[in-house]
Amino acid sequence: MDQHTIPLLQVESLARHYGTIKAVNGISFSLKRGEVLGFLGPNGAGKSTTMKMITGNLAPTSGSAIIDGFDILDDPKQAKAALGFLPEQPPLYKELTVDEYLNYAARLNRIAKSTINTAVDNCKQRCGLEQMGRRLIGNLSKGYQQRVGIAQAIIHNPALVLLDEPTVGLDPIQIREIRQLIRELGQSHSVILSTHILPEVQATCDRVQIINQGELVFNDTIENMSERMQTTALLLRFKRPPPTSTILSLAGVQDVESVDKQTRRIHFLAEQDPTEALVNASVSEGWGLFELTPERMSLEEVFVDLTCREPHHDEAVQP
């Protein structure tokens, strides 16, 4: 079998229980080589617990995580050698210079002494740190400290990179630069991006995974998530609004909401758009339609819709 067809990460029925509390309840998913996965979930959903189990910092109650062919429990050294990890709080020694710290990170990752300088120079170049080698980490801005954190995560060229909230606290220019760096990482690594910033997922990820109450409620591509964001409501303003019953009689219309005397919000089935029928009826019946605005569901609304209800196993799209 071609190596590129084998998932780099395979999570099977991973669970972590604390007594009767099921922090993570038997989730399964896979990650392809070169794929960037956005990992989302509200506070307490089990996202951090899952990340800790994948990285070997927390033993699962049951299930497994296979990284590049190695089980994180049975072969922890080999599995962790394929991992690079940036926690939400980067593990930096602020009294060291960037070069000193990255040399230390290289030795921790058992990079051959003869290639350490090359590895350090390479990750500094990739992370935009070429001019920062002699600077004390403690004197760098938060944005550059995040870059140093990413550099230590990729210095040993791991197959899988996990980034936990990498843009928190950065200014808009820094956020843009880190997002570009994440996209570039996706060309040579598989990446799991844990974030609460929803537009970040759209900007950087190939696939979205949402966890809620310890279970996966969505696991699919950005394109398929975008389908959930299609227009399913219309905001209309009439000079002479028709009766609600008349609008409800049109094919596809599910609900009519009265916003004010002249304005109606119409919810409809995605596959039965009543826009043309509404316009034609307004002309023939003299309703005086003078405004029609499609309302598109935002990514935030999709996220809230998926996480503010009870999860069901059959809702999660199979990876």
DSSP strand pairing (190-194 vs 36-40): parallel
- Whole-number pLDDT of residue 1: 46
- Whole-number pLDDT of residue 317: 44
**Percent of the chain scoring above 70 in pLDDT:** 92
Find the length of the chain.
Answer: 319
pLDDT digits (tens, 9 = 90+) for 117-161: 999 999 999 999 999 999 999 999 988 999 999 999 999 999 999
Of 132-146, 227-241, 270-284, minimum mean pLDDT range: 227-241
| Interaxial angle between packed helices 142-154 and 116-126, expressed in degrees from 0 to 180 and rounded to the nearest 10 | 130
Cα–Cα dist 182/3, whole Å: 23
Cα–Cα dist 178/200, whole Å: 10
Domain 3-227 has CATH 3.40.50.2000: no
| Interaxial angle between packed helices 172-185 and 142-154, expressed in degrees from 0 to 180 and rounded to the nearest 10 | 10
**Where does 230-296 sit in CATH, by number?**
3.30.70.100
pTM over 0.85: no
Cα–Cα dist 287/239, whole Å: 6
- Whole-number pLDDT of residue 315: 44
User: Under 8 Å CB-to-CB from 288, ≥6 apart: which residues?
Assistant: 238, 239, 240, 282
Q: What is the mean pLDDT of residues 193-210?
A: 85
The domains of the chain are located at 3-227, 230-296
- Whole-number pLDDT of residue 229: 64
Spatial contact of 274 and 251, defined as CB atoms under 8 Å apart: yes
